[in-house]
Amino acid sequence: MTVGWLALFFQIAYSVGAIGLGLYGLHALWLTLRLHRPALSPSPVNLPSNSLRSNLPRVTVQLPVYNERHVVLRLLDACASFDYPLDKLQIQVLDDSTDQTTSLVQRHVEEWQRRGVNVVLIHRDERTGFKAGALADGLSTATGEFIAIFDADFEPPTDFLARTIPHFLGEDAARIGFVQARWGHLNRDYSVLTACQALALDGHFVVEQVARQSAGYPFGFNGSGGLWRRACIEDPTVGGWQADTLCEDLDLSYRAQLAGWQPLFLPDLVAPAEIPPQLLAFKRQQFRWAKGSVQTLKKLGGAVWASSWSLPARLAGLFHLGNYLIHPLLLLLLLITPVLLLLGVDPFGPLAWLSLASVGPPLLYALAQRRLSKRLWLRRFAYLPVLTLLGMGLCLNNSLAVWQALTNRPGPFLRTPKFRVEDRTDSWRESSYALALDPVVLGEALLTLYALSGVFLAVVHGKWWSIPFLLLYAAGFGLMVGMGVGQSLGWHGKGRPSTARFRAADLVKSQGR
């Protein structure tokens, strides 16, 4: 292959990556602008008066847990305190744990049973089907017409059921399949890392979910902080919980909507949860979400395209399911740019206009924070530069996840460890759940050097346009390496408690509210 043909090949590949990222940016911009149109926001609905509460439907609250000794009692206490008739409420702790979580939960379950709460512990020795398998197993003995689901790191408010169940009642709501609440953050201000994650999650819940609902487009159940109509899950055309993807929540919610069930998002109902304080835990969570989303795209993409939905709704669904494809595109641009510099060629000039689409994500995050707090929005939005670097640095981690999904590589459901860190005096480093440094950091270190070599080539060849672009990559991967190694070695500003002190503090937190 001649140099000319080689240059053309890389220019075409670069164009594919740039156009893909441009479409992602335009999609984010569209979602942001969509919020300024009249929205289909659900009106608040209250439970009937005490005299009519005997007519309320039965609800089963499912709590899937796996080795969650730090946080599971906080969750159980919150759910056992729901403002809902006790004779209509069942709580299932779906426990697949292999550590002391099981015995800890068993004692707490017995305590709540003595108080008259119908709570049961269902322990499985084998994690068949992982979370989807646990939910399906619990459903076989559930007594509720509606199924609420909370992951171990959540602390839902006492009025959660009181504010969700009414939306399922009445003839007009007969096809509502699931209701999703907005996630809040128990530890937003714990560190820069948690503040950045909160910024990203707020963008998803405050703008993306609301905009999709407003437009009548499909959106996903987020796996926790929501409520399902049991008849929807068990609908033969839906197919129930399935474990062939790592995003069983996204999978089920799209199958339900394809079968004609309707979703409902409640942006004013907040279910607080803990954000991963360890970078490696955050990366593991992102890996699972990226792989599971693309698995769902492969599984249901054809059905979405062939559905009776409008063309905009079908396209919006495919964009949603394929959201994590931006990470391989980011990695592709990095790998190609130094090669183009060596060949002495520039990417196609018209592609520079695609950079205008990059305003989409920042506007989305800014609008989300502005809607949440007019007083604090600017301080929270100030973390955007670090979030941008995290997004760049994650592209190797998430590209590996996408590759595994596209090549049908199996893998276990790797949980995101939770530590119960709620304020800056809490520590997670002494916990046995803390993750060890993984080999991906070596690839990130090499990509840091690769991006810096591209900067050198840009200087040599006078291609100044590419220097900021390559420096972003170098800083993003450098942040991954520096933070990952630093956390693994215990580099931090707070005092490091001994193992005994950590466990004692954790035990105190686990005993009551």
Digits of tens for pLDDT over the chain (513 positions)?
Answer: 576 778 778 888 888 888 888 889 889 988 998 876 544 556 666 665 554 566 899 999 999 999 999 999 999 999 999 999 999 999 999 999 999 999 999 999 999 999 999 999 999 998 899 999 999 999 999 999 999 999 999 999 999 999 999 999 988 899 999 999 999 999 999 999 999 999 999 999 999 999 999 999 999 999 999 999 999 999 999 999 999 999 999 999 999 999 999 999 999 999 999 999 999 999 999 999 999 999 999 999 999 999 999 999 999 999 999 999 999 999 999 999 998 888 877 665 555 556 666 788 999 999 999 999 999 999 999 999 999 999 999 999 999 999 999 999 987 788 899 999 988 888 898 899 999 998 999 999 999 999 999 999 988 888 877 888 899 999 999 999 999 999 988 764 443 433 333 333 343 343 333
Q: Where do we find the tokens 């609301």? A: 210
Residues assigned a catalytic role? 96, 249
Q: Where are the beta strands (DSSP E) in 304-405?
A: none
* Residue-number span of the structural domain to which 60 is assigned: 1-513
CA distance 433 to 134: 21
Global pTM reads 0.90
Which CATH number goes with the domain that contains 284? 3.90.550.10
Total domains present in the chain: 1
Inter-axis angle of helices 3-34 and 360-372, nearest 10:
20
CA distance 132 to 112: 26
Q: Reduced to 3 states, what is the DSSP secondary structure of residue 262?
A: strand
Q: For the sheet containing 262-273, what is the strand order?
A: 119-123, 89-95, 59-65, 146-149, 226-229, 176-185, 262-273
